[in-house]
Amino acid sequence: MNLIGIYYPGRSFWHRLDPRSKLAVVLAMMFLLLASRGIKLGLICILTFLLYRSANLPWRLELEVIKKFKWLLLIPLAVNLAIPFHPDGWHRTLAVNSPAALNIGLRLAAILLVAGWLSYVTKPMTLVEGIAKMWRPFKSIRKSGFDIPLMMGLVVRFIPELLAESENITVAQRIRGIKPGLRLKNSLSWIKSTIIPIFLAAIRKAVALATAMEARGYRPGMERSPIEEINLKFPDYLVIGIAVSLIVGHTIQLF
């Protein structure tokens, strides 16, 4: 069963926090992952795994994120191992390029895990409401402070649905004897039998969602009351303060 992007119910400290404080944690983690290297990068990666453990999330969720995005991790790793090519041969090339390639691979894996962690510990509509409250200062730019967060929430919500749909279509096509291969003929038939049905399924889901929203009285630009009322509490302010301090402190060290 595909669980990427799906809320995982729990009663941990992170589950009870306001989505704005969790967004601050994610931004701080991604900033540190992109700005750190060497031992610091390793410590931030360990902290990423601790986020999952402190949220009481099972190991299979982390493994599923890595498994689903394995090609996104392996292709940059292979490219960075091979380029630039050293004149002394492949052994020297791999020895010279390995540190930088591993750093990039660790960063990508940790960023994917942090993004997955946010979706596991935050309900989609609660996350939308948190983004909407953060967007309110920009209401002078947009007529409504809810439309853009709603679109972002729908995109996040559609990701696991499309992944599940792609798995079902892939299994169905394998049963019919259509398998991917290195030959051009097989690859073209695989694209036609898999990618096109996924696009058609996405369009059908979008049309059904638009019809459901219109039936419920949705109109762009209208103010709407939230499904769940969220408020910042002392733990939220504490987490946001720590996240901002980490970003500011690391920025000062860089300069």
Per-residue pLDDT reduced to its tens digit, 35-85: 877 788 888 888 888 999 998 888 888 888 888 788 778 888 888 888 777
- pLDDT score, position 184: 54
Residue 149 pLDDT greater than 70, yes or no: no
Find out whether 250 and 35 touch, Cβ atoms under 8 Å: yes
User: Are residues 118 and 1 located together in one domain of the fold?
Assistant: yes
User: Are residues 218 and 237 located together in one domain of the fold?
Assistant: no
Separation CA 45–CA 38 (nearest Å):
11
User: Are residues 241 and 182 located together in one domain of the fold?
Assistant: no
User: Are residues 240 and 114 located together in one domain of the fold?
Assistant: yes
Residue 147 pLDDT greater than 70, yes or no: no
The mean predicted confidence, pLDDT, of the chain is 78
User: Are residues 1 and 119 located together in one domain of the fold?
Assistant: yes
Q: For the residues 103-113, what does the mean pLDDT come to?
A: 86
User: Are residues 196 and 223 located together in one domain of the fold?
Assistant: yes
Nearest to residue 119, comparing CAs of 68, 166, 72? 68
User: Are residues 46 and 89 located together in one domain of the fold?
Assistant: yes
- pLDDT score, position 174: 75
User: Could you list the residue range(s) of the whole structural domain that residue 83 is in?
Assistant: 1-123+231-255
User: Are residues 160 and 214 located together in one domain of the fold?
Assistant: yes
Residue 93 pLDDT greater than 50, yes or no: yes
User: Are residues 183 and 251 located together in one domain of the fold?
Assistant: no
Confirm whether 134 is domain-assigned: no
Give the residue with greater pLDDT, 108 vs 153: 108
User: Are residues 105 and 189 located together in one domain of the fold?
Assistant: no
- Place 181 in a pLDDT band, splitting at 50, 70 and 90: low
Separation CA 198–CA 190 (nearest Å):
12
Q: What is the pTM of this model?
A: 0.74
- Place 221 in a pLDDT band, splitting at 50, 70 and 90: low
User: Are residues 113 and 235 located together in one domain of the fold?
Assistant: yes
Give the count of domains, the chain.
2
User: Are residues 41 and 93 located together in one domain of the fold?
Assistant: yes
φ, ψ at 49 (rounded to 5°): -65, -35
